């Protein structure tokens, strides 16, 4: 039940909702639990609500760590 | 719209064999120096799924780490009498529209499941994906009493609580909540204190942590000297969590590591926490398998009791003497036995004829093991 998937914000409505794209399919999401969302942000969505922002810089840092691990082998 | 590469999740590359192999080697390099194998609990059912789906469980075992599933499935730990109270209400009253998440409708109880019972004329059960859909039903059907029957951990609780905030604002008179809300940190404390299982460390649930942050786990390192790491849900994420825990064990310095920093802020989701704080209050709660745990449940504060379905319909949420069945869900949820240790697993109990909630929920340890272990060919 805590499954939550990352998607990219593609549009914002003025009632605190907006559309989030998951690999091509778009879903209406409530942003009330996550103020300050901008188009282009990546968010984690659970039960119709965005619960967290996905920090791209952090994501790239972890990805780099993995790439370094791969190089070591 | 077709999938466009521009919108491809930047994390799809994290599943490569090469990455997971390197991480497994790094883990093995640490465990090599330890005298016995380690028992780590992955608290969250979604982590259990990652471990099985990616085939990491046996590989970790080879590296000296036994992964044990914990109580992290809200459908599984909600006791039967919640469902039975809802079943009684639906079968005795007109004009009830009960909304819930899909898995909840299939949990077998001695009164049947929400899916198999016949509601009184004019009443019905409806599966929703978001609690907001339930509220929409209430707006569209003022003649019905709409109840959202919601089971969830900290990940789901804010979304459900948001509908109460809205219902207050809109003065919706026909919407109420039957909450089966469970808090993870008190359950972990109960597991550690019961000492039934000697756990060496925890993989903390990533999306529960997105709401609560790092601090609520601190007592596990400080008081019980057990290490832990918050982890994401890609195979490499889980391994990174395991590696961190193993390193903490070797250094003798347990802490709460955050290996899911791209999603989990140290302080959690402040907005969501404030919402919970405003509308909900803690209480002792009874978990299937784990029993009564102090401060591990949440219910609506008295000032919002108009929206509390248990009050509005005088529902009796009392544990009853359960007829003993062979289902071992309770022990599975505590990590004391694996699903295969249950005599019904794969025989009488299968996804098409579940005998307990752990075979119903897609986060249930029994269903996951059945799906990924080839138990279909069993019994
Ligand atoms: S296999 Fe079925 S009966 Fe056995 S513990 Fe799991 S859910 Fe219960």
pLDDT digits (tens, 9 = 90+) for B180-223: 999 999 999 999 998 888 899 999 999 999 999 999 999 999 99
- Residue B181's pLDDT is what? 98
List the single residue in A with minimal CA-CA distance to B104.
A1
Give a yes or no: residue B246 inside a domain. yes
For residue A46, how many C-alpha atoms fall within 13 Å in the half-sphere facing its CB?
27
Average pLDDT for B121-131: 95
Please name the helix (run of DSSP H) or strand (run of DSSP E) that holds residue B284, with its range, or none: strand B280-287
Whether residue B377 has pLDDT greater than 60 = no
What's the rounded Cα separation, in Å, for the pair B179 and B147? 10
CA-to-CA dists, residue B211 to A28, B50, B56, B184, B224, angstroms: 21, 21, 27, 11, 23
Interchain CB distance below 8 Å, B269 and A59: no
| DSSP type of residue B84 | H
Query: Would you say B287 and B258 are in contact if contact means Cβ atoms under 8 Å apart?
Result: no
Is A25 part of the contact surface with chain B (CB cutoff 8 Å)? Answer: yes
| pLDDT for B11 beyond 70 | no
More confident residue, A65 or B215: B215
Region B162-175: what's the mean pLDDT?
97
* Residues B343 and B239 placed together within one structural domain of the fold: no
For chain B, percent of residues with pLDDT exceeding 70: 94
Range of the domain at B118: 36-315
> Domain ends where: B315, B343, B369?
B315
Is residue B85 a part of any domain in this protein?
Answer: yes
Nearest C-alpha neighbor of B329 from the set B318, B317, B348, B342: B342
pLDDT tens per residue, range B263-297: 999 999 999 999 999 999 999 999 998 999 999 99
Q: Could you tell me which of B16, B5, B131, B80 has the C-alpha nearest to residue A33?
A: B131
Q: How far from B23 is each of B9, B18, B128, B146, CA to CA, in Å?
A: 22, 9, 39, 49
Is residue B128 assigned to a domain? yes
Put simply, the answer to whether B4 touches A70 (Cβ < 8 Å) is no
Q: Does A28 touch chain B (CB under 8 A)?
A: no
Say if residue B143 is in the same domain as residue B107.
yes
Question: Does B352 have pLDDT greater than 50?
Answer: yes
Same domain, B280 and B340: no
Same domain for B342 and B284:
no
Residue B362: pLDDT over 70: yes
Q: B65 in a domain, yes or no?
A: yes
Q: How far apart are CA B188 and CA B216, in angstroms?
A: 11
> Is the Cβ pair B19, A66 closer than 8 Å?
yes
Residues of B in contact with A3 (CB under 8 A): 46, 207, 362-363
- Exposure on the CB side of residue B2, measured as CA atoms within 13 A: 2
Residues B364, B371 contacting (CB under 8 angstroms): no
Residue B4, in any domain of the structure? no
**Interface predicted TM-score (ipTM):** 0.91
Are A19 and B92 within 8 A, CB to CB? no
Among B315, B337, B357, the domain-final residue is B315
Q: Note whether B305 and B336 are same-domain residues.
A: no
β partners of residue B125: B98
Note whether residue B349 is domain-resident. Answer: yes
- The predicted structure's pLDDT at residue B6: 45
User: Mean pLDDT throughout B30-56?
Assistant: 93
Residue B11 lies in a domain: no
Confidence band, pLDDT 50/70/90 cuts, at residue A65: confident
Check whether B255 has a pLDDT greater than 60. Answer: yes
Nearest chain A CA: its distance from B359 CA (Å): 14
* pLDDT beyond 60 at B378: no
Between residues A67 and B105, the one the model is more confident about? B105
* Calculated CA dihedral for residues B259, B263, B266, B271, nearest 10 degrees: -160
Instruction: Taking residues B64-85, report their average pLDDT.
Output: 94
Work out how many CB contacts closer than 8 A connect A with B.
Answer: 143
User: How many structural domains are present in chain B?
Assistant: 2
- B352 and B264 in one domain? no
pLDDT averaged over every residue in chain B:
92
| SS3 annotation, B229-254 | EECCCCHHHHHHHHHHHHHHHHHCCC
Is pLDDT above 80 for A71? Answer: no
Q: Where are the alpha helices (DSSP H) in B155-205?
A: 157-170, 184-194
Residues B97 and B66 in one domain: yes
Q: Are residues B294 and B347 in the same domain?
A: no
Residue B155 confidence class, pLDDT cut points 50, 70, 90:
very high
Q: Quote the pTM value.
A: 0.92
The answer to whether position B292 is within a domain reads yes
CATH number at residue B242: 3.40.50.11740
Candidate from B45, B101, B261 with C-beta closest to A58? B261
Report chain B residues whose CB lies below 8 A from the CB of A41: none
Q: Ligand 1: residues within 6 Å at CB?
A: B 327-329, 332, 339, 342, 344-345, 349, 355-356, 358-359, 366
Mark which of B293, B315, B337 sits at the end of a domain: B315
Q: Which residues of A touch B16 (CB under 8 A)?
A: 70
Residues of B in contact with A54 (CB under 8 A): 262-263
Asked if B236 and B341 sit in the same domain, the reply is no
CB of A19 within 8 Å of a chain B CB? The answer is no
Percent of chain A with pLDDT over 90: 58
Distance CA(B307)–CA(B107), nearest Å, equals 25
Residues in chain A: 73
Indicate whether B86 and B155 sit together in one domain: yes
- Residue A56 touches chain B, beta carbons under 8 Å: yes
Q: How far apart are CA B229 and CA B227, in angstroms?
A: 7
Q: Residue B356 C-alpha to ligand 1 middle, in angstroms?
A: 5
Does B130 contact A49 at a Cβ distance shorter than 8 Å? yes
Looking at the structure, do residues B46 and B140 belong to the same domain, yes or no? yes
B308 shares a domain with B333: no
Q: What is the pLDDT of residue B173?
A: 95
């Amino acid at each position: 039940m805590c499954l939550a998937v990352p998607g990219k914000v593609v549009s914002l409505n003025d009632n605190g909702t907006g559309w989030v794209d998951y690999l091509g399919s778009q879903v209406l999401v409530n942003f009330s639990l996550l103020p300050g969302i901008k188009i282009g942000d990546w968010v984690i969505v659970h039960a119709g609500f965005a619960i967290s922002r996905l920090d791209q810089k952090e994501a790239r840092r972890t990805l780099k760590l993995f790439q370094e691990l791969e190089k070591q082998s | 719209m077709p999938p466009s590469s521009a919108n491809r999740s930047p994390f799809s590359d994290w599943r490569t064999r090469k990455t997971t192999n390197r991480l497994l080697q790094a883990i093995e390099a640490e465990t090599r120096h330890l005298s016995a194998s380690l028992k780590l609990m992955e608290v969250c059912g979604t982590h259990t799924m990652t471990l099985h789906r990616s085939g990491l469980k046996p590989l970790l075992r080879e590296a000296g780490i036994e992964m044990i599933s914990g109580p992290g499935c809200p459908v599984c730990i909600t006791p039967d009498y919640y469902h039975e109270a809802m079943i009684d209400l639906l079968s005795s009253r007109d004009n009830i529209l009960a909304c819930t998440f899909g898995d909840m409708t299939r949990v077998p109880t001695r009164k049947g499941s929400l899916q198999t019972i016949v509601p009184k004329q004019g009443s019905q059960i409806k599966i929703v994906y978001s609690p907001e859909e339930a509220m929409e039903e209430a707006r569209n059907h003022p003649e019905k009493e709409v109840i959202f029957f919601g089971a969830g951990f900290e990940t789901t609780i804010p979304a459900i609580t948001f509908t109460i905030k809205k219902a207050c604002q809109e003065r919706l008179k026909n919407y109420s909540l039957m909450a089966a809300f469970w808090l993870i940190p008190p359950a972990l404390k109960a597991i550690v204190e019961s000492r039934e299982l000697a756990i060496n460390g925890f993989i903390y649930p990533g999306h529960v942590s997105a709401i609560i942050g790092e601090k609520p786990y601190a007592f596990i390192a400080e008081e019980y000297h057990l290490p832990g790491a918050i982890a994401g849900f890609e195979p490499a994420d889980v391994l990174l969590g395991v590696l961190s825990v193993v390193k903490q064990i070797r250094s003798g310095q347990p802490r709460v590591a955050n290996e899911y920093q791209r999603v989990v802020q140290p302080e959690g989701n402040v907005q969501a926490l404030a919402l919970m704080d405003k509308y909900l209050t803690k209480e002792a709660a009874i978990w299937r398998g784990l029993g009564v745990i102090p401060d591990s449940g949440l219910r609506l504060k008295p000032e919002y009791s108009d929206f509390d379905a248990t009050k509005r319909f005088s529902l009796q949420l009392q544990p009853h003497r359960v007829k003993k069945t062979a289902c071992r869900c309770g022990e599975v949820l505590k990590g004391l036995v694996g699903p295969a240790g249950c005599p019904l697993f794969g025989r009488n109990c299968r996804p098409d004829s579940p005998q307990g909630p752990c075979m119903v929920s897609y986060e249930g340890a029994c269903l996951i093991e059945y799906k990924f272990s080839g138990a279909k060919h069993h019994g």
